[in-house]
Structures are given as C-alpha cells and as structure tokens.
C-alpha cells in the first residue's frame, strides 16, 4: 500500500479524491477508491494479490480490471498477460487523459461494450487453455 502513495498523490493532483477506504487489521487487505466525478479507480489487495479496477460513476456500473482498459487502449491481442501492480501504476499515470476520455459521458457506452467483449474474450481464452 505504501508503494501506491506516489500514484495517490498523482490522482489527487489531477482532481481525484479518496471516497472510500478500508484496511483489514488482521491480514493487511485493503481497498482505496478515488473518484474525479466521471469515473472511479480502486486499488485493492486481498491475500497479498494487488489489483487496480476502474468503473464509471454512473449508478450500478461494474468494475473493470485496468488490464482490460490497457488492452483496449493499446489494442493488445494477448489478453492473458499478467500485468504487475507497478505496470498498472505506470499505465494509469501515463494514460490518465486517455482513460478519462474512454470513461467520458459521450464515450462510456461504447467503452463499456468493448471492455465487456474483451473480458469475455479473455475468459474464453483462459477457459480453453485450462482444458
């Protein structure tokens, strides 16, 4: 979690505020959710597995793995590549403007559709490779 502080400062300097925070006293699991009014970014750790997820601020929207957003922006074909938390942090800082554009009110429905398609493609590939 301490390694996230630089990214947290970056988000705050770009109009985000911390809207939810929870840390487990027993296991060190946590989640920190930031919002800029258009979309939310959630950093979390469960059983020492760290993730970064993103969703629209619209009511009842689903969270998307930041790796799917990266795959969408970079037109990546290998959807099963593991993305480290450090790569997520760097991507978020480098591409925040483009991510904001994807999650803007005008683009969000097309973005959501494409992210759902990519998520389904990734699940199919994962299922087929585990057979």
> Residue 109 and residue 57: Cα distance in Å, rounded?
13
Which domain does 99 fall in, by range? 2-129
Q: Structurally, how many domains does the chain consist of? A: 1
Instruction: Enter the pTM of the model.
Output: 0.87
Per-residue pLDDT tens digits for 79-106: 878 788 899 999 999 999 999 999 999 9
Please write the tens of the pLDDT for every residue from 9-57.
Answer: 999 999 999 999 998 877 778 999 999 999 999 999 887 788 999 999 9
What DSSP element (H or E) covers 86? helix 85-102
What's the residue count for the chain? 131
Q: Buried b / exposed e across 83-100, counting CB within 10 Å, b at 16+?
A: bebeebbebbeebbeebe
Structure confidence at residue 55 (pLDDT): 97
């Amino acid at each position: 979690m301490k390694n996230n502080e630089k990214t947290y400062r970056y988000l705050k300097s770009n109009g985000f505020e911390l809207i939810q925070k929870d840390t487990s006293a027993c296991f060190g699991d946590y989640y920190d959710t930031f919002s800029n009014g258009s979309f939310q970014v959630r950093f979390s750790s469960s059983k020492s597995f760290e993730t970064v997820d993103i969703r629209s601020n619209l009511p009842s929207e689903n969270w998307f793995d930041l790796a799917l957003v990266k795959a969408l922006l970079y037109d990546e074909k290998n959807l099963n590549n593991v993305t480290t938390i450090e790569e997520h942090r760097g991507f978020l800082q480098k591409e925040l403007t483009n991510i904001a554009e994807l999650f803007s009110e005008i683009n969000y429905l097309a973005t959501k559709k494409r992210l759902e398609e990519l998520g389904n493609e990734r699940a199919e590939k994962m299922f087929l490779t585990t057979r």
